[in-house]
Amino acid sequence: MEFTYLAYEKLIKQLKDKGYKFCDYTNYIGENKAVILRHDVDTSLNKALEMAKLEKKLGISAYYFVLLSTDFYNINSEKSLKILKEIRKLGGRIGLHFDEKKYNLKSKEDYIKYVNYELDILSRVLEEKIDVVSMHRPSKDFLEMDLEIPNVINSYQKKFFNDFKYVSDSRMSWRENVEEIVDSEKYSQLHILTHPFWYSEKIESMEEKLEQFLKLAIKERYESLEDNIRDFENIQTCKEVLLNLEIEKFYKNNFITQRLILRKINLNDLDDLFEINSNPSTCKYLNWEAHKTKKETLNFFNRVFESYNKKNDIFLGIRLKDNKKLIGMLRIYKINLKEKSAEISYIQNENYCNKGYMKEALNCVISSSFKTLKLNHIYMEVMFENIASEKVMLNLGMKLVESEIYYFIKNEKKRYKRYRKDK
């Protein structure tokens, strides 16, 4: 089974098709076919919320067991409480995920004492009675204990393992094929444990999931610091950390249009780059002269792209979908996450002008900038004499905001216009 929301949805449909009733730990008795769904929330409450939303859509409910003490989330924080309340509102049942390694437990009495202690805390925090517990990485001794706790449901009691067929996706690996188990109809009672952390919209490796989680953790730390430190957003190092994360996320977008593919430029594009940059007409409105040799283009590539990377600029090559030929370049720069704005410039092979390619590419990139980078404004500047580029901007629905901007280009003072497109 794949670790995607679609795969989980298919599993739920399969259970329904086979006639299983979705039960809790108390109402399964007497059912011909019963399944208890349980989620251990070891790492991410956000992922748990996504799973709860999906289950609401599917018309089912499950248990969500949360840790009282973990370095990954704090159930008593405003943010976490909001998520837990939302899970409850969606139909999810909250339970205690108990970490026995936190205590020096030597007897059944010790287990009962500290489980009740944490259940009381969780109940107070959530302002409702919590009376169900699952163990976090239970020890062999605990499993053999078959612990009964007065007025508390222990999901690891033997009756939920002997009478039920128990299957789990621990560490992103199903110990048994859950789909085959459901399909066989061999078991009338199923106890299925999943970990929401591993599930995502598309198929991803464990490395990819962990990488995304770490980057999200950095962003969350950033936002917490921003809320508590005056002028935090003006500290350059902090700004760069967040911007780097957002740019990495941006590059993962699927930049494919009807006729074009947009992706990073590399040295394999050197011939096409030379074709673009060696044309005097193309370079007329640029701040560099037309290239005479490929070596010049190579030096340009190494120098310019290194500079852009240091500035946290985004640079995309525009390629024809049918033959992968590079026909232009786009640069997103002066990205300001606080002001929610950025600027875009471009260059295009003259042989491919007047075919709507640049409008097509810009529409794609601007849309992604609004969505992924959360920008509200895109700016573009055009030299007064560059009628063709100005036409592109107007066709994009951009509005003129300044008509008297001057820059020195090739030692000449040139007048520019400034256009803006809003989200």
pLDDT per residue over 367-395, tens digit each? 999 988 889 999 999 999 899 999 999 99
Beta strand pairing call for 377-383 and 93-98: unpaired
> In terms of domains, do 176 and 63 share one?
yes
> In terms of domains, do 222 and 109 share one?
no
Write out the residue range of the structural domain in which residue 18 sits.
5-198
- CATH code (residue 262): 3.40.630.30
pLDDT per residue over 282-341, tens digit each? 888 888 888 999 999 998 888 777 766 666 788 899 999 999 999 999 999 999 888 899
Question: Do the domain assignments include residue 171?
Answer: yes
> In terms of domains, do 80 and 56 share one?
yes
> In terms of domains, do 191 and 215 share one?
no
> In terms of domains, do 147 and 108 share one?
yes
Question: Do the domain assignments include residue 240?
Answer: no
> In terms of domains, do 169 and 221 share one?
no
> In terms of domains, do 251 and 289 share one?
yes
Structural domains in the chain (count): 3
> In terms of domains, do 44 and 144 share one?
yes
pLDDT for the residue 43: 93
Q: End of a domain among 215, 234, 253?
A: 234
Spatial CA neighbour of 165 closest among 204, 207, 193: 193
Question: Do the domain assignments include residue 313?
Answer: yes
pLDDT for the residue 65: 98
> In terms of domains, do 193 and 319 share one?
no
Identify how many contiguous H helices and E strands the chain contains and give both numbers: 13, 15
Question: Do the domain assignments include residue 225?
Answer: yes
- CATH code (residue 90): 3.20.20.370
Q: What is the mean pLDDT of residues 14-40?
A: 95
Determine if the pTM surpasses 0.85. Answer: no
Name residues whose C-beta falls within 8 Å of residue 416's C-beta, 6 or more positions apart in sequence: 381, 382, 383, 384, 405, 406, 407
CA distance 369 to 378: 8
| Alpha carbon distances (Å) from 11 to 32, 186, 226 | 19, 16, 41
> In terms of domains, do 152 and 211 share one?
no
> In terms of domains, do 280 and 187 share one?
no
Q: End of a domain among 198, 223, 254?
A: 198
Question: Do the domain assignments include residue 406?
Answer: yes
Question: Do the domain assignments include residue 239?
Answer: no
- 3-state DSSP call for residue 409? strand
> In terms of domains, do 254 and 299 share one?
yes
CA distance 40 to 64: 6
pLDDT per residue over 172-207, tens digit each? 999 899 999 999 999 999 999 999 999 999 899 998
